[in-house]
Amino acid sequence: MTRMKFRAIFVPVFLVAGLGLGACSPSWNWRDLRLEQAPIRIQLPCKPEQASRRVPLAGELVDLQMTGCATQGTTFAVTAARLSAGASPAAVLAAWRESMLQTLHASEVQERPYTPSGSGMLALPQSVRVDARGTQPDGKPVQASAVWFARTDPNGVWVVHAAVYGAKTDPAVVETFLGAVRGD
């Protein structure tokens, strides 16, 4: 993937403008997939692109494995990272959430607990769903719905962030995407 394409999709937040359409619309081509590097299954409504990047989060350097796509003016993204031994998943999730909200200049933030289906999910207060309004770097409005959670598997602890961004997102599409994120 070219560096320009990488930035357009994954840095620092997955933002695009446009209208989201209904989850049952023929323009949505939902596909089930397992993330290559993480024990997570998702559904995306468009052909996925993947990238990875090493970033600091809560004092830890983590290798983010990103999968996402954009269609109908809406961007869908899932990012996962395996934490090193001794790292605090709670601290990483909290820092990740705060970073996204700051980047969005978020307002009208609604937050509630979130626990996806699947085995190995950690019951952490930082496992949340956030719905917010904010602005893109160009000043245009954006709606975001995102979740953060942690899970274990035989290879360690994973932190996961899934999000939908758009100028106006369709609630049915958001629920279809976020409802399909699960442990594998």
pLDDT of res. 114: 93
Instruction: Give the pLDDT confidence score for residue 98 in this predicted structure.
Output: 95
What residue ranges in the chain does DSSP mark as E strands?
Answer: 31-34, 40-44, 49-57, 60-71, 74-82, 107-113, 128-135, 141-153, 156-166, 182-183
Q: What is the pLDDT of residue 137?
A: 83
Q: Which residues contact 64 (CB under 8 A, 6 or more apart)?
A: 52, 53, 54, 55, 79, 80, 81
Q: What is the CATH number of the domain that holds 106?
A: 3.40.1000
pLDDT tens for the chain, residues 1 to 184: 433 333 333 333 333 323 233 344 456 889 999 988 888 999 999 999 999 999 998 888 889 999 999 999 999 999 999 999 889 999 999 999 999 999 999 988 999 999 888 888 999 999 999 999 999 888 999 999 999 999 998 888 999 999 999 999 999 999 999 999 988 7
Which secondary-structure segment (H or E) carries 97? helix 89-104
Q: Number of folded domains in the chain?
A: 1
What pLDDT is stored for residue 22 in this prediction? Answer: 38
At 46, list the tokens. 């468009």
> What pLDDT score was predicted for residue 27?
64
Give the domain extent around 154: 3-183
Q: According to the model, what pLDDT value does residue 6 have? A: 33
C-alpha–C-alpha distance, residues 87 and 21, integer Å: 40
Q: What per-residue confidence (pLDDT) applies to 7?
A: 32
